[in-house]
Structure 1
Amino acid sequence: MTNVAKHSKNTISVVVKESSDMKKKTDLAGRSVGTLANINTTGSKKILKELTNSGISMEQKEFGSMTEMLESFYNGEVDSIVISESSRSQITDIEAYANFDSNTRVVYQTSYKVENTDKANAVSNITTTPFNVLISGSDTRGGFDENGRSDVIMVATLNPKTGTILLTSVPRDFYVTTACDAGDGCMEGQLDKITHTGIHGTNTTKRTVEKLLGIEINYTFKVGFDTVTDIVDAVGGIDVNVEPGYECNNFMHAPGLSVHAGVNHLNGEQALGYARERYAYSEGDRQRTKNQQQVLMGIVDKITSPAIVTNYAQIMDSMSNTFSTTMSNDEISSLIKYQLNSNLKWKMEQYMVNGTGDTLMCAELGDAAYVMVPDQSTVTTAKNKINAVLAGKSADDVE
């Protein structure tokens, strides 16, 4: 669980309309297929080569953007298109193609591995030295080793000497300059929503957050939907405090869930639904980010209690294969022992960078989409708050 896999998986599909007469791989022979000229070229080449090796030749037509390719597909200009499965959410986020999953189907699919370059920048002593952890929440449905968008981006700054944890959130639509290592396959130096960095692995998200905030990240913690439900259920549920005016009984991802003003006790599925909701709030993604922080604070409050800490091995076993972290087994054990010996009650602090909405070109889409343009003053404040906690001070003292 604490060993990050050497490779991640990318899955590529040839997609046709649901009404198409193409039912199996051999039906693709002689038909036309749309691909993207500058995006996901590795996957497109791989799947078309596999088809060619099987004696199935297709007429390829390249497009400059995702929306251009989709328009031609639905207009009947091409019989099929090649997509990366990690881009499905990008497609369905476009209002005109919200029903893409239901009115299309996959005729042929393949996967290939990409090297995972994420490594720890470990501190000398995790019980005495402050450190930063990137928490990246993936929206992938294809398995934990599948790359997908980073729909949760949060930096947890921990100072074990002062017992302080600062949670700094970056909204998924934050418009940033992408940073990555050579070979990550990302749009290095180009502007895009930060959520798209996860398509190229946690390391790309980490590098981009480091560049954005001007900080150093020591460890990463990649989670999926199952992580939230499993952790929350393993610790017996969590409590979240809902402010007056934020009551809700129409959660999109948790039908039947309702929360009232005051303290609410949530099980795993309810906590996940609460952390994912944005449409029920006028603040949209800003409120969802606050809810995510509340859920994480509820988890921290529960797992640092003596009753839970002493059973941590059993709890971690129950969450096997639901998350990965670059923090080592020894470092996790040291933190557990430190918590047991000190019975430290952590002080939780929160911050979120902010910005204004706009429609701008996104490198991964090859087209314009809704983004949040950063308010640089909030980015500076975030950096100052993180540095304050690392220096043994309180983030709340930073204006």
Structure 2
Amino acid sequence: MKKVSRKKPVNKGYRIFSIILTILLVLISFFTVFEIYSLNVLTPMLTVMVIVIFILIDAILALLLIFSAKRIVSKILFSILTIIVTVVFALGGFYMYQANSLLDDVTTVEGDIKNTVSLIVLDSSRYDELEDIDGEKVGVLKSIDAYGTEQTLDDIDTQGVNINTEEFDSIQAEVKALYNGDVEAIVLNETYRDSVTDLEDYSDFNSKTRVLYETVYYTDRVENEAKSVENITSHAFNILISGSDSRGGLAEVARSDVNMIVTVNPETGVILLTSIPRDYYVTTECDPAYGCQVGALDKLTHTGIHGVETTQATIENLLDIEINYTFRVNFTSVVGLVDALGGIDVNVAPGYAVDSFWTNPSYGVTEGVNHLNGEAALAYSRERYAYSEGDRQRVKNQQEVLMAIVKKAISPSMLVNYTSFMQALSGSFETNMSQNEISELIQNQLQNNPSWTFEQYSLDGTGSTEMCAELGNAAYVMIPDENTVQTAKEKIDTVLSGE
């Protein structure tokens, strides 16, 4: 009887699995390569090399997985290897996607500006609801934030509540009337709350009062166009870093409590940090459409109320310079960024140790190197009362915190905290620098690895009490020392020219 030869059955299950795994590897590879290309931080040659490497790896793994794996051991080995490579590629693609999303977020400034105006009563008052204030006398500001006051009064009227208003020329006079019982409540834009607590007689404003009713309205965001340089990797440029005192996000109107000009010369590798005290008494420059008082004297910090464009124009006028780009951050950004980096190190000079910061009593610093978490770094950069130099020392601390963040962010250790760092950056700041310009800077850093040298300078002045336009009354200011103003201009010009 003739024997019939039989071949071993083909493992169709493994063949299907290997094909599906190969397709998944190719798709993820394509996604990762696309994100790398979109990020545009590699040179064209390196981008081509990366694409070739991905193609070779995919081809080799496909051959091994589908055609070379004959025995059970080789099948398991090649399958595990392919899965590992697929996961690595997927993680790489996810990181690139995060970076692309971040650049898109920070360079696309959309949405309206949030304005919050409160109806404020004494904490000890008998009023619990808006209806309780019906028929009572309420203080309002005559010319300061007239639009916000109008929006609030209209809102209260639509609620069926009638009030009698009394106008005041200054915030101080309005608050004084509330404290003295001359009015039962006051209408105040939340932007001015810290301006009230800065006044010695009303430092207890937050604890002595409460918000009875809130009106929230939105205004159009003014487009802030950059004054771009021709080539950001070879031409020097100025950046304004404006630190908002808002803890509610960048979409809220707020003062500019940190004002720093960063002058960058990519050719010489020099970065100059020039800080301007928040209380600097300056002439306000802006488009009247922003609602500011053009030509009026006021604290620099108050220019932020009318947008970073107003702060930029005012500083340009003060220093007679051109600011090419703006970066706007808020206080919560510092906390998230520093924590995402795993903390930063600052070096405290002898005689500048602080047992407990006034801004946050839970933290302080000792002489020498201090490792700070986010909250500690924020307290360190905001503190002024603990130092005899006051605001002068605060701007130095702010410069040190910024340098520590930059150094940690470009260090190899950042790779360990990459995901948390990307998440912290998202929504933490906004800039009018384009995505292409940021990509070019990153590409230059990766390709040439320039060694940056940091220089610091701070403008100085003399303390005084002068009329502030945004407050409608006199307050502490710093009268500019014209010698330091001139020196700052010369230093900026020197870095820009590469001398």
What is the CA-CA distance between 1:310 and the residue it aligns to? Answer: 9.9
**1:317 pairs with 403, 423, 432, which one?**
423
Aligned residues: 393
**1:101 pairs with 197, 206, 211, which one?**
206
Q: Distance in 1 between matches of 2:208 and 2:350?
A: 41
Task: Note closer, same or farther for the CA distance 1:108–1:254 as it changes in structure 2 (3 Å cut).
Answer: closer
Report the equivalent of 1:356: 462
Q: Does 1:33 align with 2:103?
A: no
Task: Note closer, same or farther for the CA distance 1:72–1:255 as it changes in structure 2 (3 Å cut).
Answer: closer
Task: Note closer, same or farther for the CA distance 1:104–1:311 as it changes in structure 2 (3 Å cut).
Answer: closer
SS at match of 2:478: strand
Greater strand percent: which structure? 1
> After superposition, where does 1:1-399 map in structure 2 within 5 Å?
1-2=105-106, 3-117=108-222, 118-308=224-414, 315-393=421-499
The answer to which of 3-12 and 352-361 deviates more is: 3-12
Deviations 1:83-125 (A, max 9, x none): 0001000001111111111111111111222232222222222
Amino acid at match of 1:46: Q
What is the CA-CA distance between 1:143 and the residue it aligns to? Answer: 2.9
The answer to which of 110-119 and 59-68 deviates more is: 110-119
**Is the 8 Å Cα contact of residues 8 and 201 (structure 1) preserved in structure 2?**
no
Q: Distance in 1 between matches of 2:416 and 2:207?
A: 47
Deviations 1:338-373 (A, max 9, x none): 111111121000111111011110001110011100
Q: Distance in 1 between matches of 2:172 and 2:213?
A: 22
Q: Which has the higher contact order (CA 8 A, sep 6+)?
A: 1
Structure 1 segments of 4+ aligned residues over 4 angstroms from their partners: 309-314
Amino acid at match of 2:320: G
Amino acid at match of 2:200: E
Q: Distance in 2 between matches of 1:253 and 1:103?
A: 19
Give the TM-score normalised by the residue count of structure 1: 0.95
Report the equivalent of 1:396: none
**Is the 8 Å Cα contact of residues 229 and 272 (structure 1) preserved in structure 2?**
yes
**Is the 8 Å Cα contact of residues 247 and 332 (structure 2) preserved in structure 1?**
no
Q: Distance in 1 between matches of 2:359 and 2:171?
A: 27
**Is the 8 Å Cα contact of residues 15 and 105 (structure 1) preserved in structure 2?**
yes
- Structure 1: gaps spanning 5 or more residues: 394-399
What is the CA-CA distance between 1:198 and the residue it aligns to? Answer: 1.0
What is the CA-CA distance between 1:45 and the residue it aligns to? Answer: 0.6
- Structure 2: gaps spanning 5 or more residues: 1-104
Give the TM-score normalised by the residue count of structure 2: 0.76
Deviations 1:42-93 (A, max 9, x none): 0001110111122222111111111111121111111110000010000011
Amino acid at match of 1:66: I
Q: Distance in 1 between matches of 2:249 and 2:216?
A: 12
Q: Distance in 1 between matches of 2:413 and 2:203?
A: 46
Q: Distance in 2 between matches of 1:189 and 1:316?
A: 41
SS at match of 1:183: helix
Q: Distance in 2 between matches of 1:336 and 1:316?
A: 15
**Is the 8 Å Cα contact of residues 135 and 222 (structure 1) preserved in structure 2?**
yes
Q: Distance in 2 between matches of 1:195 and 1:11?
A: 19
Deviations 1:362-395 (A, max 9, x none): 00111001110001111111111111111112xx
Q: Over the residues paired in the alignment, what is the CA RMSD in angstroms? A: 1.6
Q: Distance in 1 between matches of 2:241 and 2:442?
A: 19
